[in-house]
Amino acid sequence: MALKLVSVTWGSRDPVGVAAFWAEALGWRVSLQVQDRVGLEPTDGTGFGFFFVRAEQDGVGASRMHVDLSSRSIDDQREAVARLIGLGASEVDIGQGDDAPHVVLVDPDGNEFCVLEPGNSFVTYESRVGSLTCDGTREVGYFWSEVLGWPLVWDRDEETAIRAPGDGRQFITWGGPPLSPKRVKNRLHFDLAPAPGGDQRAEVERLLFLGASLVDIGQGDVPWAVMADPDGNEFCVQGSR
């Protein structure tokens, strides 16, 4: 049975502040705020939420995963970029070139994200959050397709993409090698959960069979399992909801 992508979790030194930026940027609701843990619930049809937690260690280098926002026209793209900069984002040069059709920004916490051009084939236009773009091998694209039950919609030149069925219809894409060096825990990671009535332990066993591994990042005694995919990216498996 496929696991559900519940949320993308962001580690930050200022989780409340960066959550406030994304809530305003996307128009999402705050579904949970307990001290420095903040959950955002989508209001635009996105199939997963965002969750922000305190991380004492800053990210090193570019993140292995970033959010891509969609735009329906050039004017929409320009207006979105201007609005996001007004909220505290800033443009950044990561080597995309002056003629790149997408705009690369960083949020107030330094996390890169893109506002994509209209007509991009690997973004949904059913919501502002159109896709998650990752560094990753072809193997890891196949792994996540099997884990989530999202069909593989692209497999060429070591690049892969999967797309959520049903509501949301977001993409997750992997750009193939070379991967960004991994020196510390990723700033962004997936939180997964079994379907209602599902068995967390059985799902962990299935993930191990598919090529994941259990990892210790100092989490201690917690009710979720901390794992890594075949490329070493951390993710968590929660109990059934």
| Chain segment 80-128, per-residue pLDDT in tens | 999 999 999 999 887 777 778 999 999 999 999 999 999 999 999 999 9
Beta bridge partners, 234, equal 228
- Checking DSSP bridges between strand 37-41 and strand 225-228, what pairing results, if any? unpaired
Q: Per-residue pLDDT for 54 more than 60?
A: yes
Q: In this structure, what CATH number is given to the domain that contains residue 166?
A: 3.10.180.10
| pLDDT number for residue 167 | 67
Mean per-residue pLDDT of the chain: 93
Domain span holding position 156: 4-237
DSSP letter string over the chain?
-PPEEEEEEEEESSHHHHHHHHHHHHT-EEEEEETTEEEEE-SSS-SSEEEEEE-SS---SS-SEEEEE--SSHHHHHHHHHHHHHHT-EE--SS--TT-SSEEEE-TT--EEEEPPTT-TTS-SSSSEEEEEE---HHHHHHHHHHHTPPEEEEETTEEEEE--SSS--EEEE--SSPPP--S--SEEEEEEPPTT--HHHHHHHHHHHT-EE--SS--S-SSEEEE-TT--EEEE----
pLDDT of residue 184: 84
The yes-or-no verdict on residue 60 having pLDDT over 60 is no
* Model confidence pLDDT, tens digit, residues 144-156: 999 999 999 999 9
Pairing of strands 159-163, 171-174: antiparallel
Model confidence pLDDT, tens digit, residues 158-210: 999 999 998 679 999 999 998 877 888 899 999 999 988 899 999 999 999 99
Number of structural domains in the chain: 1
